[in-house]
Structure 1
Amino acid sequence: MAIDYSERIPNNVDLSNNKTLQRALENWQPAFLDWWGDMGPEGSPNYDVYLRTAVSVDPTGWAHFDHVKMPDYRWGIFLTPQEQNKKITFGDHKGDDVWQEVPGEYRSTLRRIIVTQGDTEPASVEQQRHLGLTAPSLYDLRNLFQVNVEEGRHLWAMVYLLHAHFGRDGREEGEALLERRSGDADNPRILTAFNEQTPDWLSFFMFTFFTDRDGKYQLASLAESAFDPLARTCKFMLTEEAHHLFVGEQGVGRAIQRTCEVMNELKTDDVARLRAAGVIDLPTLQKYMNFHFSVTSDLYGSEISSNAATYYTTGLKGRFEETKLDDDHKLDNNEYEVMDVAGDKILSRHVAALSALNERLRDDWITDVQAGMDRWNRIVAKTGVNFKFTLPHKGFHRKIGMFADVHVAPDGRLISEAEWTHQHQNWLPTADDRLYVHSLMGRVVEPGKFAGWIAPPSRGINNQPVNFDYVRFN
């Protein structure tokens, strides 16, 4: 499905034949551009950035690359093609036709799901607003900006659904998405993780590895929805989300690579000597992984959730790759294993699978995160350095769910308040760790040059050389 770029709002949903909706979105567009000017990447309006723009939703050839000024980026509304005679694949409505309009009884719940997803998109742009000032290379600066414009387009995708299917309520919600601000004490973003600061590039890479991967799993479960416009929207968003995960995994991997190179050059694992040499020591990288893993894990919510069960039975939100799972897709009599805290022990117990859908999605995410961690460990192993990154226990540093009121060590031990107070600085980034990482953040913008704490990538973007002028500052 080609995208019509002759329209003021590029789209493949035949917007020109719905004048009421078109006018509503055209009225929202200036507010979006004002928000981008206020909260988008700082100091960047005149940069020419080598960006990827969607030209179709065909997975075999949907992207066009060229230097573009970000305020001129062709944001728009892109859905994957509608399947004829598509049926609902799970829940109480399994076997019925998918919905093209919102059933009245699910209106408020579905609107809340869309608003919560939509709120994460501008939030991450706001969190990353200042990072361009300390980019470790032009290559990385371009990748940051690509992530930013795609988060902006994902916001457009959710606002389209709100305007097209929720009337005045939807229009008001669309306006509110531009009024909240990440970290604002009076009007914060909806989810806690999206009010955290992203103060440096290591945090950005960790965010795109861990938290954008949560986005992948949330979008994948919404791509199963019985509400077909939401499903089709999320399927296309997943195409773009893959690049965000690449940016995170490769960024952390290149930091690991550079540190291991310096460890071998200096023949040391002494943290002080490595920091004096200007790289991020592996134990500090592990602390950042622990922090971002635990904060992102909370985004899945409580292990036992009646809301998640309702979303599933009503057909609003499925499981990851629902149609590939071998069960009845109703789960009335199925069980799932979850962890629980009983006294001074962490136990496992079986609960109704419908009530444990949050935990199942978290477990799917953890499996994917572990695969990325394994790839990072292969980088270390190839350099001959004796170190292994490990994921902390899923109860570590949690603020939501079964583990919210207890302290769990990374190795899974329940520990006292006193031991946590004494030990947590060995497991999570300290103020000194963050200050050190921040001290490395100097801007490098000469093509082909990279900050000393990160290795160059093995190849450039879209077959361009690593020393390509990915950003032109004009």
Structure 2
Amino acid sequence: MSSIDYSEKIPNNVNLSEDRTLQRALEHWQPNYLQWWNDMGPDGSQNFDVYLRTAISVDPQGWAQFGHVKMPDYRWGIFLNPGEQDRKIHFGDHKGEAAWQDVPGEYRANLRRIIVTQGDTEPASVEQQRHLGLTCPSQYDLRNLFQVNVEEGRHLWAMVYLLHRYFGRDGREEAEALLERNSGNADNPRILQAFNEKTPDWLSFFMFTYFTDRDGKFQLCALAESSFDPLARTTKFMLTEEAHHMFVGESGISRVIQRTVNAMNELKTDDVAKLRAAGVIDLPTIQRYINFHYSVTIDLFGADESSNAATFYSTGLKGRYEEGKRQDDHLLKGQTYKVLNIEGDKLVEKEVPMLNALNEVLRDDYITDSRAGVERWNRVIEKAGIPVKLTVPHKAFHRNIGALSGAKVSPEGRVVSEQEWSQRVNEWLPSDEDRAYVGSLMGRVVEPGKFANWIAPPVMGVNRQPVDFEYVRFN
């Protein structure tokens, strides 16, 4: 078990006290981080005592303790998985060499860019979600939101440590800039567009934590293969926390669907107007939210053909998802992969060098994983005896990056005219009316054990506590 020293000003398991220069630099960054949390973190919640999980080791068998804590006092810190003795690079041009403990000079700029881009997503999602506590559907959900927020904050610390420790002055400047950019800021936005979108309501939040945090899982898994050992060890520990975020999303949507199908059976109707009059979220609206969040998220994997992806792989900076389980030469020279293009009114597949298609390989792995959760939602609908199936839309639907950028494609994968798109876009993506209706349901419910009308209670509480436990104490 690799325990964490909580007696330090910055809790860590990297012997920070042995590097006084680094420790001072991070202690200088810490007040700026807390100021950012005050300004941009969960709105109006600084004095709440929240039932949070804190890592006490990086051992997956026993790494967490629970207790009520004020979020600004949360023990953020720097936690890396234990190093693997004599770890070897297992893909790319350096395959078979010893993993790097320092940054090779020739890869410095690319590595810094990868770390900064990952680091930028973490505070961005806290900023996107900062007002959600004001409209929470229950105390249980409010606590889960806050747990996600503090862990995203810790993931920012993880990337900032790497920048400070391995990139000198450039790294310190990048770490400062991570607190200066803000989600949706017209002058200084976050790096990736999905992290500048609003998260205006809890249905969007659950979709974000299911779909967009799942992108985080796949990106972190690819970075956990990195030849740069400190990055690989950092991201492996982050994945332990990322799993909770996806659980919040998947179980949240499942509970929304459960409440809806219960109402459909009680009222014996699938009429959208009647279901909305009853204050639940109809299945067609849920489908449109899926279409939006899924399509925005698969854009995050980047262009389908990318020389950067090829470079990151060949130089050993970023592997594939579950690289070690793949049965090939882990060099990929001479191998090909199919990507989609649009020719006239048809989608066509074309073979491209696999090294250039690695974004697409990761996107396809993500798509397979995403579908599995949607099938679990379908089982809730099926159990209620309702003949409706939710689906993820076609990969070419509503894309804004790569060869499919701006293509007009239906959720089923049919290329459509501009006219048909504009006539039917409100069937396929959330309309202003949908968003206004979902927004109208967002009243704050904070009495222990009580839930908003549009969502079912969970099957069990957090850490074996009852569902009506006092998860948040409002001071």
Compute the TM-score of the two structures, normalised by the length of structure 2.
Answer: 0.99
CA contact (8 A) 2:50 2:71 kept: yes
1:21 counterpart residue number: 22
CA contact (8 A) 2:398 2:406 kept: no
Residue 50 (1) aligns with residue 51 (2): yes
Q: What SS class does the counterpart of residue 259 from structure 2 fall into? A: helix
Residue 425 (1) aligns with residue 426 (2): yes
Provide the rounded CA distance (Å) in 1 between the counterparts of 2:440 and 2:422.
26
1:302-341: CA deviation from partner (whole Å, max 9, x where unpaired): 1000000000000000000100000000000211111111
1:255 counterpart residue number: 256
Provide the rounded CA distance (Å) in 2 between the counterparts of 1:214 and 1:259.
27
Q: What SS class does the counterpart of residue 65 from structure 2 fall into? A: strand
1:160-203: CA deviation from partner (whole Å, max 9, x where unpaired): 00000000000000000000000000000000000000000000
**Structure 1: which 4+ aligned runs deviate by more than 4 Å?**
none
1:386 counterpart residue number: 387
Cα deviation, residue 384, structure 1? 0.6
1:286 counterpart residue number: 287
Residue 357 (1) aligns with residue 358 (2): yes
Provide the rounded CA distance (Å) in 2 between the counterparts of 1:230 and 1:405.
35
2:66 counterpart residue number: 65
Provide the rounded CA distance (Å) in 2 between the counterparts of 1:328 and 1:46.
55
Residue 216 (1) aligns with residue 217 (2): yes
1:204 counterpart residue number: 205
Q: What SS class does the counterpart of residue 349 from structure 2 fall into? A: strand
Q: What SS class does the counterpart of residue 279 from structure 2 fall into? A: coil
Q: What SS class does the counterpart of residue 408 from structure 1 fall into? A: coil
Alignment root-mean-square deviation, CA: 0.5
Cα deviation, residue 99, structure 1? 0.3
Gaps of 5+ in 1: none
Provide the rounded CA distance (Å) in 2 between the counterparts of 1:406 and 1:79.
42
Gaps of 5+ in 2: none
1:239-280: CA deviation from partner (whole Å, max 9, x where unpaired): 000000000000011000000000000000000000000000
| Count of equivalent residues | 474
1:115-149: CA deviation from partner (whole Å, max 9, x where unpaired): 00000000000000000000000000000000000
2:114 counterpart residue number: 113
**In terms of mean alpha carbon deviation, does 344-353 or 420-429 score higher?**
344-353
Q: What SS class does the counterpart of residue 147 from structure 2 fall into? A: helix
Kindly provide the amino acid, as one letter, of the partner of residue 66 in structure 2: F
Cα deviation, residue 412, structure 1? 0.4
Alignment of 1:72-471 (within 5 A): 72-471=73-472
Kindly provide the amino acid, as one letter, of the partner of residue 162 in structure 1: L
1:197-250: CA deviation from partner (whole Å, max 9, x where unpaired): 000000000000000000000000000000000000000000000000000000
1:14-34: CA deviation from partner (whole Å, max 9, x where unpaired): 000000000000000000000
CA contact (8 A) 2:17 2:23 kept: yes
**In terms of mean alpha carbon deviation, does 218-227 or 399-408 score higher?**
399-408
Kindly provide the amino acid, as one letter, of the partner of residue 362 in structure 2: L
Cα deviation, residue 465, structure 1? 0.5
Cα deviation, residue 390, structure 1? 1.0
Q: What SS class does the counterpart of residue 362 from structure 2 fall into? A: helix
Q: What SS class does the counterpart of residue 386 from structure 2 fall into? A: coil
Kindly provide the amino acid, as one letter, of the partner of residue 28 in structure 1: W
Identity of aligned residues (%): 72
Cα deviation, residue 405, structure 1? 3.3
Provide the rounded CA distance (Å) in 1 between the counterparts of 2:106 and 2:403.
31
Q: What SS class does the counterpart of residue 235 from structure 2 fall into? A: helix
1:40-91: CA deviation from partner (whole Å, max 9, x where unpaired): 0001011000000000000100000000000000000000001110000100
Cα deviation, residue 381, structure 1? 0.3
Kindly provide the amino acid, as one letter, of the partner of residue 148 in structure 2: V
Cα deviation, residue 6, structure 1? 0.3
